[in-house]
Amino acid sequence: MRFLLSCIFLTVFVSCNTLKTVVREKAHNPVIFADVPDMSMVRVGDTYYMSSTTMHMSPGVPIMKSKDLINWELVNYCYDVLDDTDELNLNNGKNAYGGGSWASCIRYHNDTYYVSTFAGTTGTTYIYSTKDIEKGPWKVIKFKPSYHDHTIFFDDDGKIYMIWGVGKLRMVELKQDLTGIIEGTERVLIENASAPAGNNIGLPSEGSQLFKVKGKYYLFNITWPRGGMRTVVVHRADNITGPYEGRVALQDRGIAQGGLIDTPQGDWYAYLFRDYGSVGRIPYLAPVKWENGWPVIGIDGVVPDSLNLPANKSLIPAIVASDDFSRSANEPLLPLVWQWNHNPDNSFWSVNGKKGYLRLTTGRVAAGFLKAKNTLTQRTIGPVCTGETFFDVSNMKEGDVAGLALLQKKYGLVGVKYENGAKSIIMINAQSDNPEEVERIPLNSEKIYFRATCDFTEMKDVADFYYSTNGKNWIKIGSQLKMQYTLPHFMGYRFGLFNYATKITGGFVDFDYFNIHDKILNEQ
């Protein structure tokens, strides 16, 4: 009997632990705890591709790849430079913060990938195409005007359509070579796409994405009732030109804006994102079932925390990554995790000037950090993360400022400032409208370590800055930064490596590495 009871206990123990393991190995929301907004997805065979928004960053319109809808990796960008303008170049007092390219649409048609986007900054619509989405090259077609939050749709009869707009949604037919619209084909598709969410609307419907399932057309949009939350609205029709009938498809924690994707096995999901404080707009995935010809999103109206998909792996190194700046002859100069703040000036940075280092050289005088050229950035990640760097400041010039930042309008940075013939460690906190130098410490070394930590847990949104002279003993400097997602920048906080001149140009600094961790490292 004791043996039998032992066997029963062992079986129950193993079963329970196996169950726990299975639960633990499920996927969870958010799918990506980082700023990946305005997603658009397509499946080709057993592979998924996703485009997203990075606006004023360069290169832009990132392409991500997944085999399971959960674990994504950066594989390409649609462009190195969107366009050559003062705003995008950060020249003549102009900038493209919160501008640049916005919501994209990715489609696959006749063995070709298409990614379209638009830019209010340039008043232009851009359509990128390639046979090889992971390696390129990309062909670009552009025309005016800028069609806001548009979706491109290749219909079964060979016609190509574009739907766009805010509140009142319009549709137009495109030329077969995609070089522009066919005159006389524009029409109002839906007079008031926000109507299913009520009359008291703050943000009218936008973010159009159109899909065709079993002969019916489904148009996804987002709207925002006053006093409510971001809401998914879906319209359907038997013909692409309508008439369309609409309904509210989801109201849950503001998780909204996206579309539909299916698996090779026939399961359906909605990809959406959620505003999550200063880390940015983070992707969620919700199961979809079909009832009476309508997609029903979530479970009992809620996006579940766990999903019956493979478990999430770390975002390091697929979405963000450490970099020792050592390059072999066949490697790209910068991994895909890096993006420049605005268009770079490639004559003033290098990973070859000093082998194994990133060299940033000042090429012009700037009034402050947000106006500095060639700030190299990558995403922060949640729920917590740490970025750190080690660099050589021996070749700075009078008035130069260089270091590690957390970039947004209300930025924070820890840096070295060369002033009056002496170098100092400074911490600047731009939490208010006027950036404040909170602390300054004399620097008696030509090399220095910096660290920045971020805590996004339940939108805590705080960051701290540290320095070290030996890489072992870390000292907190300045004040804690209360991070805030602001609409003028419209982007989650990013780590940034920077060097700018305030008096004379030609000074440079050499960054030995940038390391990112998915935990908080402080004084340890």
In a domain, 23, yes or no: no
The pLDDT > 70 percentage for the chain reads 95
Identify the helix (H) or strand (E) that includes residue 6.
helix 2-24
Q: Mean pLDDT across the stretch 258-286? A: 98
Q: How far apart are CA 164 and CA 146, in angstroms?
A: 10
CATH number at residue 117: 2.115.10.20
Last residue of a domain, one of 310, 328, 352: 310
User: Using one digit for the tens of pLDDT, what is the confidence trace for 149-171?
Assistant: 999 999 999 999 999 999 999 99
Q: 174 and 241 share a domain?
A: yes
Sorting pLDDT into bands at 50, 70 and 90, what band is 4? very low
Last residue of a domain, one of 289, 310, 331: 310
Q: How far apart are CA 240 and CA 151, in angstroms?
A: 13
Q: 295 and 368 share a domain?
A: no
Tell me the average pLDDT of the chain: 94
Q: How does strand 349-350 pair with strand 294-297?
A: unpaired
Q: In total, how many domains does the chain have?
A: 2
Higher pLDDT residue, 220 or 329?
Answer: 220
Q: How far apart are CA 409 and CA 203, in angstroms?
A: 23
Q: How far apart are CA 348 and CA 169, in angstroms?
A: 45
The pLDDT value given to residue 335:
97
User: Using one digit for the tens of pLDDT, what is the confidence trace for 193-237?
Assistant: 999 999 999 999 999 999 999 999 999 999 999 999 999 999 999
User: DSSP readout, 20-32?
Assistant: HHHHHTEEESSSS
Q: Mean pLDDT across the stretch 433-459? A: 96
Q: 189 and 286 share a domain?
A: yes
In a domain, 315, yes or no: no
pTM of the model as a whole? 0.93
Q: How far apart are CA 496 and CA 338, in angstroms?
A: 10
Range of the domain at 232: 28-310
Q: 280 and 359 share a domain?
A: no
Using DSSP, state whether 197 is helix, strand or coil: helix
In a domain, 254, yes or no: yes
User: Using one digit for the tens of pLDDT, what is the confidence trace for 15-49?
Assistant: 344 433 334 589 999 999 999 999 999 999 999 99
Q: 48 and 180 share a domain?
A: yes
Last residue of a domain, one of 268, 292, 310: 310
In a domain, 264, yes or no: yes
In a domain, 217, yes or no: yes
In a domain, 4, yes or no: no
Sorting pLDDT into bands at 50, 70 and 90, what band is 524? low
> Which pair of structure tokens corresponds to residue 86?
């003062």
Shortest CA distance to 294 belongs to which of 270, 271, 273, 272? 270
Q: 175 and 300 share a domain?
A: yes
Q: 363 and 408 share a domain?
A: yes
Q: 117 and 190 share a domain?
A: yes
In a domain, 318, yes or no: no
The pLDDT value given to residue 354:
77
Instruction: List CB contacts of 406: < 8 A, sequence separation 6 or more.
Output: 380, 412, 413, 452, 454, 463, 481, 483, 493, 494, 495, 496
Instruction: List CB contacts of 261: < 8 A, sequence separation 6 or more.
Output: 41, 42, 43, 48, 69, 268, 269, 270, 271
CATH number at residue 481: 2.60.120.200
Statement: residue 464 has pLDDT above 80? yes
Strand spans (E) along 214-357: 216-225, 231-237, 245-250, 256-262, 268-275, 281-291, 294-297, 306-310, 339-341, 349-350
Tokens 């729920």, residue? 383
Q: 468 and 419 share a domain?
A: yes
Using DSSP, state whether 332 is helix, strand or coil: coil
Asked if residues 460 and 414 have their Cβ atoms less than 8 Å apart, the reply is no
Q: How far apart are CA 41 and CA 281, in angstroms?
A: 16
* Residue 129: other Cβ atoms inside 10 A: 18
Q: 146 and 239 share a domain?
A: yes
Q: 157 and 36 share a domain?
A: yes
The pLDDT value given to residue 433:
79
In a domain, 252, yes or no: yes
Q: 499 and 360 share a domain?
A: yes
